[in-house]
Amino acid sequence: MARRRLSVPAMVSSTLKYLVLMAAGVWMLLPFFWMFSASLMTSQEVTRLPPPLLPAIPQWHNYIDVARVVPLVRSYFNSLLVTGLTVAGLLFTSSLCGFAFAKYDFPGRNVLFLLVLASMMIPFFVTLIPVFYIVKQLGWLNNYAGLILPGVVSAYGIFLMRQFILDIPDELIDAARIDGASEFRIYWQIILPLSGPALATLGSFNFISTWNSFLWPLLVVQSRELFTVPLALNSLRTYGMEAQFHHLQMAGTAVSVIPAMIVFIALQRYFVKGIALTGLKG
């Protein structure tokens, strides 16, 4: 069958759309490009007006210098540990609770789910002091438990997973029960594999937010050995008013966004699929 040819107005409209999207994409990526470019400049180049687009000679030692100024290597380890365990815990609790809300009929289920939804309306700053007090009473200040455990449960995560798991056919679960599978085995071997797009979506959201978290680690951590990357980079504000350190600030910022960018790029197709499949339903 011959392919239908587009009319001239349709081709012009399509071309204009692509050009607008390309221009918008370039405009959005330009700050990131200049950030990485400025991280390889000298302090004089960074402060020059108008600023150059590319460094005359790339200063790769800027990344070594910023690691000497702040405990960047240790902070990277802390951030990877805290973020990885937080995301793993959140995916487990959210998928397990979402499975219960979606596929089990128990007394008070709708009321409990409404309470979960209602908690999403409460701003983080309202619960900040109570959560901090609980963490302090449990003796979790200035250790990994205080950084990780408060973030392993999320009302949004439960809601997202429940909406996705609703689409999984009940016949699969009933067949597994007939074959003698336990409820946890059904969750582990049926629900989790089929919930890949939703798990990737929730994981990417939570990875980025936890990696970039600043206020909570600032309250919980006092020791420099437990600094996460945002706290370590906050140490650079001491040099913020001095122009000769602006290139180090750019180098530190460039290093800090690399993991979040890698995660988003790696999970992009699952991210888009999860957003498309996870709709609002009863």
Could you read off the pLDDT of 162-182 as tens digits, one per residue?
988 998 999 999 999 999 999
CATH 1.10.3720.10 residue ranges in the chain? 62-277
AA identity, residue 3 = R
Contacts of 196 (CB under 8 A, 6+ apart): 270
**pLDDT tens-digit series, residues 28-68:** 888 888 888 888 888 788 878 887 888 888 888 888 888 88
- CA 227 from chain centre, in angstroms, equals 19
Question: pTM for this structure?
Answer: 0.83
- pLDDT band for position 79 (50/70/90)? very high
Q: What is the DSSP code (8-state) at residue 188?
A: I
Enter the tokens of residue 152.
């392993």
Phi, psi at residue 55, to the nearest 5°?
-70, 145
Token representation of residue 126: 């309202």
Other CB atoms within a 10 A radius of the CB of residue 251 amount to: 28
Q: Does domain 62-277 correspond to CATH entry 1.10.3720.10? A: yes
| Confidence check: pLDDT of 236 > 80 | no
Q: Of 224, 270, 243, 273, nearest to 49 (Cα)? A: 243
Q: Are 159 and 118 in contact (CB under 8 A)?
A: no
